[in-house]
């Protein structure tokens, strides 16, 4: 696991301070890889990396060149099938000088060109620079690739003179010629999603390479290409019985976990007490010859958010070496640090416990397996079941819907995790709408109507129209399959995987996600939606596959997200803090948001009328981000 960065100039030029500039970019990524730093400068290009040593500790140094120095690579991530690829490449005449998967990437590119990407199984972002041959003029060729689901990040900046890339935006901003300008067009997208979706970023002229894409830069020209997407074949083509599907799932899950146990350093697992993380621990227990080290997080002062009792139950069941950490309201002091690591405004407050559990985990191991992806593969979120309920709700007489809506609007909203009024109100507000609008209403942060009220300027990008674009890519599948696709293209790479990557790498910890093996995902995409969401039972087929393998109580318990009681904090211990930040003259003077709309959010939340904790958190992280990255005067 590493942080990578580099550049290519569009014309031949040899800057006298090129090495210093490259080191400046690379130094911002040291948290991603504290074990080794390296850089290689060419006439018009440069590559650099910070390495977290996990496989081949002795010889896997980067940047890595081939035998004649014509190709160089920097690589962030893991190629889990690299030994199979290595044997194939050796049979084709390639010689290896290390045991690392990075050298497999390099020789794979030499052998198969950009098609090599389709042979790789893992999480990765890498850059390969081909130097111009002696009989050809030009500036060489830069090839970038990102894994299918976006587990590893990659960003880039381009202007008339240069192209710069890095694992994190802060490295690009470290280049003296890159301006720090707010992309105001991205703000409505941030308010709707809670993050800025790829390829956009919150900075002008800086872009995110989307998951499943490759990018080539040569002679000033840039070519972007998608090499992989999720497909949902006709369920009738899957000629397997339910029992056969279960058996195949079990085999793929075991294989996926086994592949991710390859490591030359200690490893463990995050354990929330939910079905997905418990499944990973169960398979790890069967595959390892020593107790699994497990790590869990709890919350002080808000029992409805705490899952420690379930994590302890699982730890006892599988006799793990268990460790715990309790999050308290004073962890708000971490906010500037968390925002700095995210580079952009990020509205998911569960970054707090993710950071804390990663910090705790890093004290014991270097690699941790996670349960990320189970909900995305098997329709695990409550909103999938809500989508099915909405069809029935839409058939109710209009006057009944009106009575329910008025009743729910008159009731106060609590800040508990499963607040009935908050969840029911959100359901009835969106249930009558078309599927894309309905789903964004449930999954997003701000409703589109409130975004218009909140923004001082008219939105140039309509979030609803933007969101509908994902649905148009899979028009011929059933609604649940549509939602699974959209979720895998939005929330998964934009929120969940960003949070996991940034918070783990902030602590120099590598996180691996067995559920997000693309072979497993491709098989689950072929399973009928009726076996994922059976009636209102989520993850039906996964639960069948795990019966007898995990405790029955874990299989039967309701889905519990990785939430944080910020709503409670904003009414109690942090009541003054949120107003002091969001209603300050500095925040109001920026001109992004209408002050009266922000005040209404705070007043209605703190009075108990509405729970606007997530919305206030989104605005709070935006303001802190602006202070750090635009004002450049906030402590980190």
The three-class DSSP label of residue 267 is: strand
Element (H, E) at 119: none
What is the torsional sign of CA 518, 519, 522, 527? negative
d(CA 440, CA 430): 9
Eight-state DSSP code of residue 550: B
CA atoms within 13 A on the CB side of 275: 27
Instruction: Report residue 12 CA to chain centroid gap.
Output: 37
What is the torsional sign of CA 243, 542, 316, 514? positive
- Find the largest Cα–Cα distance for the chain: 78
Which strand ranges, in their side-by-side order, compose the sheet holding 45-51?
36-41, 45-51, 2-9, 162-166, 155-158, 206-208
Q: Backbone dihedral region of 610: left (phi > 0), alpha (psi from -120 to 50 degrees) or beta?
A: beta
CA atoms within 13 A on the CB side of 333: 5
d(CA 168, CA 179): 16
Cβ within 8 Å of residue 301, ≥6 positions away: 328, 329, 565, 568
Nearest one of 611, 86, 633, 629 to 302, comparing CA atoms: 611
Q: What angle do CA 324, 511, 514 make, to 5 degrees?
A: 105
- In contact, 202 and 345? CB cutoff 8 Å: yes
Tokens of 264: 């030359």
Q: Is 2 a catalytic residue?
A: yes
- In contact, 323 and 293? CB cutoff 8 Å: yes
Radius of gyration over every alpha carbon of the chain, rounded to an integer in angstroms: 24
- In contact, 427 and 438? CB cutoff 8 Å: no
Query: Which residues are identified as catalytic?
Result: 2
């Amino acid at each position: 696991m590493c942080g990578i960065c580099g550049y290519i100039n569009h014309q031949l030029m040899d800057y006298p301070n090129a090495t210093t500039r490259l080191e400046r970019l690379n130094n911002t990524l040291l948290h991603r890889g504290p074990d080794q730093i390296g850089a290689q400068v060419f006439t018009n290009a440069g590559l650099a990396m910070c390495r977290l040593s996990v496989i081949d500790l002795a010889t896997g140094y980067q940047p890595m060149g081939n035998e004649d120095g014509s190709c160089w690579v920097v690589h962030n991530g893991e190629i889990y099938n690299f030994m199979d690829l290595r044997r194939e490449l050796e049979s084709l005449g390639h010689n290896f000088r290390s045991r690392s998967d990075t050298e497999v990437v390099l020789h794979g590119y030499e052998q198969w060109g950009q098609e090599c990407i389709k042979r790789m199984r893992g999480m990765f972002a890498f850059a390969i620079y081909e130097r111009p041959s002696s009989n050809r003029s030009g500036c060489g060729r830069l090839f970038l690739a990102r894994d299918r689901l976006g587990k590893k990040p990659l960003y880039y900046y381009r202007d008339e003179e240069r192209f710069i890339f890095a694992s994190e935006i802060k490295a690009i901003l470290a280049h003296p010629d890159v301006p720090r300008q707010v992309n105001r067009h991205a703000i409505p997208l941030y308010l709707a999603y809670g993050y800025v979706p790829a390829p956009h970023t919150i900075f002008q002229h800086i872009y995110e390479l989307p998951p499943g894409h490759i990018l080539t830069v040569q002679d000033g020209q840039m070519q972007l290409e998608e090499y992989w997407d999720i497909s949902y074949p006709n369920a009738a083509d899957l000629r397997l019985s339910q029992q056969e599907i279960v058996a195949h799932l079990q085999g793929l899950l075991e294989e996926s976990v086994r592949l991710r146990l390859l490591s030359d350093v200690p490893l463990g697992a995050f354990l929330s007490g939910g079905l997905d993380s418990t499944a990973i621990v169960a398979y790890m227990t069967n595959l390892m010859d020593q107790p699994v080290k497990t790590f869990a997080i709890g919350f002080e002062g808000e029992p409805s958010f705490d899952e420690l009792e379930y994590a302890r139950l699982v730890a006892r069941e599988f006799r793990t070496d268990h460790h715990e950490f309790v999050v308290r309201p004073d962890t708000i002091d971490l906010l500037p640090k968390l925002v700095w690591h995210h580079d952009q405004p990020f509205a998911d407050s569960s970054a707090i416990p993710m950071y804390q559990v990663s910090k705790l985990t890093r004290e014991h191991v270097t690699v941790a397996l996670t349960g990320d992806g189970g909900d995305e593969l098997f329709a695990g979120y409550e909103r999938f079941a809500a989508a099915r309920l909405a069809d029935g709700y839409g058939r109710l007489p209009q006057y009944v819907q009106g009575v329910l809506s008025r009743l729910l609007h008159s009731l106060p909203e609590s800040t508990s995790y499963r607040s009935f009024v908050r969840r029911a109100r959100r359901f009835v507000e969106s249930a009558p709408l078309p599927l894309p609008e309905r789903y964004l209403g449930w999954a997003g942060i701000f409703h589109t109507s409130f975004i218009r009220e909140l923004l001082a300027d008219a939105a140039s990008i309509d979030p609803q129209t933007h969101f509908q674009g994902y649905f148009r890519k899979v028009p011929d599948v059933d609604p649940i399959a549509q939602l699974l696709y959209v979720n895998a293209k939005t929330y998964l790479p934009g929120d969940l995987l960003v949070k996991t990557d940034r918070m783990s790498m902030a602590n120099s910890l590598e996180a691996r996600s067995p559920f997000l093996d693309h072979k497993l995902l491709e098989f689950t995409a072929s399973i009928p939606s009726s076996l994922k969401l059976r009636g209102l039972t989520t993850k039906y087929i996964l639960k069948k596959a795990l019966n007898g393998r995990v405790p029955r109580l874990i299989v039967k318990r309701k889905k519990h997200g990785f939430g944080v009681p910020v709503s409670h904090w904003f009414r109690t211990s942090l009541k003054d803090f949120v107003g002091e930040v969001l209603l300050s003259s500095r925040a109001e003077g920026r001109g992004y948001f209408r002050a009266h709309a922000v005040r209404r959010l705070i007043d209605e939340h703190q009075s108990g009328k509405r729970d606007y904790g997530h919305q206030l958190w989104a605005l709070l992280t935006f303001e802190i981000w602006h202070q750090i990255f635009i004002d450049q005067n906030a402590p980190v």
